[in-house]
Amino acid sequence: MLLSARVSRHLPTVLLWAGMAACVAGLVAHRLWQALPFPRFFEHVLLAGLALLAAWPLQRWLHWSRPAALCAVWLLALAVFAGPLPMLAVGLLAASAIAFGSLVMPGPVALPLGLAIIAGTLGWSMSLPIHHRALYLIAAVASIAWRRRAIVETCRGAWRHFDDATRAVPGAATAAILLLGLASTGAWLPTMQYDDVAYHLGLPWQLQDTARYAMDPVLQVWALAPWAGDVLQGVAQVLAGGEARGALDALWLALAAAAVFALTSALGGARTRCWWAVALLGSLPISMNLVGGMQTELPAMALLPLLAWLLLRDANDAAPRVLLAGAIVFGALCGLKLMHAMVAMPVLGWAAWRHRARIPWQWLPLAVLVAIAIGGSSYFHAWTIAGNPFLPLFNGIFRSPYFPTSDFNDARWQAGLDPGVLWRIGFDTDQYYEAFDGGFGFVLIALGGVWLLALRDPRTRAVALVATLGILLPLLPLQYARYLQPALVLLLPALVAAYPSCRGGSVAFWALCVLNLAFATNANWMLRTGALKRTIFEAGSAMPLFERYLPERAFAARLREAGDDGTALLLPGSSIALAELGQRGRNLLWYSPRWQAEGLRADADPSGQAWARLLHDNRIAHVFLRPATLTAAQRAGLQRSGAVLAASAGEAQWWRIPDNTPP
C-alpha cells in the first residue's frame, strides 16, 4: 500500500521528465541542430525585444499593463505590414459577426459564431452578382447600428476578462502574448503559399473583380471544394478593396488563443495554466505558418476548442440556445473541410454521451438543419454542377466528368501508419509535410508523459481522449502533419491542466516553448529563407517579395494595374496556377485536367503549329513561363504566334501575343 502511494505520488513527475528526456534524445539522435535556422531564431528574439521596448512607453505614461501594451504594439505592427485598410475591413467584419452571433449566444463567443453564420449564409449566394463593396458596407454598417449595444457590451466584457486575466498573472501573460505576437508575424507576409496561389485566392479575387464566383471546375478542379474560409477572406477583401488575408488570419489566431484559454479554465486550470496554453499555441511552428496563408486549419483550430468549450458548460448545456451554437460551429467546421468534420465527430460523440439525459430531442431536427445550412453550400453546388459533392475526392464513386474516375490521392504523404509516426513527424518532418525537420514542433513528444496524465486525470480525460482521436483520425487516409494541428490545439488545454507541479517543471515548460520557437520558421520555406525580414525592410510592400519569390504574381498585378482583361496561360514550368486571375487564367497542371490534356497533345507536335493553334483558338493574350522548363514545341508555338517578351522577373518571363490582346 505504501509503495503504491509512493509510486502514485511520484508518477506525474517521472512521466513529465520522461517525455522531456525523450525529446532531448530525439534531438540528438536525429542531429536536429543541423536543421536549426539560427538567423531566423535570433531575428525572432530581436523582434520580441523590440516589442517589449516599444511597449514600455505605454506602461510608463498610460499605466497600461505590460501584456495590454504588448497587444497594442503587435496590433500596430499588423496595421503597418498587413495594411490599415485590411485591418479596418476585418474590424467591420468582426463587428458584424458579433451583431449576428450575439443573437444566438452573448459574450465573446458571439464573434466566432457570427463569422460562421456569415460564411454559411453567403456561401449559398456565391454565384449571384451581388458581392459589391457598397452592398457589403451597407450591410455591415446596418448590422452594427442595429446591434450596437450588444457589440459594445461584448467588447467591454472581453476587455474586462482580458485585463483581469493579465493583471492576475502578468509574467505568464506577458510571455504568452510575446509568443502569440511572434506567431502573428506570419500575417505580415503577402500571400505566396502554393495552395493559396493555386486555389484559395480564386474566390476572393473573383468577388472583388466580378462580384460573383464562377464555380468553374474546368479551370480549377478544387473550385467547388468547401469554401467557408475563403468566403470570409472574400468578404474582407471586397471591403478592403484588396487582399486582407493577414488581418483576418490574425483575428483567427486571436480567437484560437481565446478558445484554448477558455477551455483550460473550464477544465479547472488556474490563470497561469490558461496563459500556458496560449503560450504553447503561439510557440507551435505550424501556427506561424498558418497565419501566413489561407489554409483551413487556422479557423479550425479556433472552432474545434470552442466546440469542446460549449460542451463543458454546466447544468443547462443541452438548452436549445447552446445546441444551436454547437450546430453552427460544427456546420462551420464542415464548411471549412471534410477532414475537420471527421475530426469533430469524437467531440459530438462526447457531447451525446455527456448530455444523454438532458438532450432536447425536439430541437435536434432544427440543429441538424442549421448545421447543413451553415456548412452545406459548397457540397450542394458541387453535387449539382459537377455530380460529386466532394470533388475531386471520391471520384471513383461519383464519376464526375471534371476529374479522372479514380479516388484522389496524394502519394507524397503515404509514408505509412505505425506506432512511430508521431515521433517521425516531430523529428523527420519533411517526410510528412512541406517543411523542414522540426517544423511541426515537439509538444507531442516532450509532453508525451503529460499526455498520459491528461488521459488519466478525470478533469481532462474526455478532452484528452477526443483530441487524441482527432490526432489519429487524419493519419488514417494520409500521414500529413498539417492536418493534425486543430486536434493538437484542442489537446493543449488538457496538457497544461494536467501538467504536474514539481521542481523545475515550469522551467521545462518554457524551455519547450523556446525550442518550438527556435524551429518555428522550419514550418515554411518562406519563413525559413527570410521572407519576414524582407517584408520588414520593404515596409510591408508586397511587390518586391513577389518579384523575388513568386514573379507570376507580380505579372498578374501589372495586368490589373493596366486594366488588361486578356486571358493568361501559365505554362507548366511555372509550377503554379494563378487562381487570382479567375476566369482569365488558364494552366496546364493537374488542377485543370482538360487543359492539361490539351497541352500534352500540343507538345506532341514539335513544329509548334499545335501550340500556335491552341493559343489562337483560346485567345491567349499573355503567357507566363520559366525559360528553363520551356519545351521545344512551346518555344516554336510562341514564335509562330508572334509572341513578344513583355517583362522578366527572377526565373520567370511574361510574353504577350499582340494578335490575341483585347483592344
**Reduced 3-state DSSP string for 548-601:** HHCHHHHHHHHHHHHCCCCEEEECHHHCCCCHHHHHHEEECCCCCHHHHHHHHH
Q: Quickly tell me which residue has 500575417 as its cell.
A: 187
What pTM value is reported for the model? 0.96
Task: For 495-523, give the DSSP string.
Answer: HHHH----TTHHHHHHHHHHHHHHTGGGG
Question: Cα(345)–Cα(52) distance, rounded to whole angstroms?
Answer: 42
CA angle 625, 630, 631 (to 5 degrees): 145
pLDDT at site 416: 79
pLDDT at site 562: 87
pLDDT at site 62: 86
Reduce the DSSP state of residue 392 to 3 states and report it.
coil
pLDDT at site 354: 87
Task: For 276-338, give the DSSP string.
Answer: HHHHHHHH-HHHHHHHTS--THHHHHHHHHHHHHHHT--TTTTSHHHHHHHHHHHHHHHHH-H
Side chain identity at residue 1, one-letter code: M
Pairing of strands 585-587, 567-570: parallel
Cell of 227: 469554401
pLDDT at site 315: 47
Which sign does the torsion angle of CA 528, 529, 530, 534 carry? negative
Q: What is the CA radius of gyration of the chain?
A: 25
User: Contact at 8 Å (CB) between 471 and 487?
Assistant: yes
pLDDT at site 4: 59
Distance of CA 510 to the CA centre of its chain: 25
Beta bridge partners of 645: 655
User: Contact at 8 Å (CB) between 487 and 343?
Assistant: yes
Q: How far apart are the first and last CA of the chain?
A: 91
Segments in the chain below pLDDT 70:
1-8, 314-318, 574-575, 663
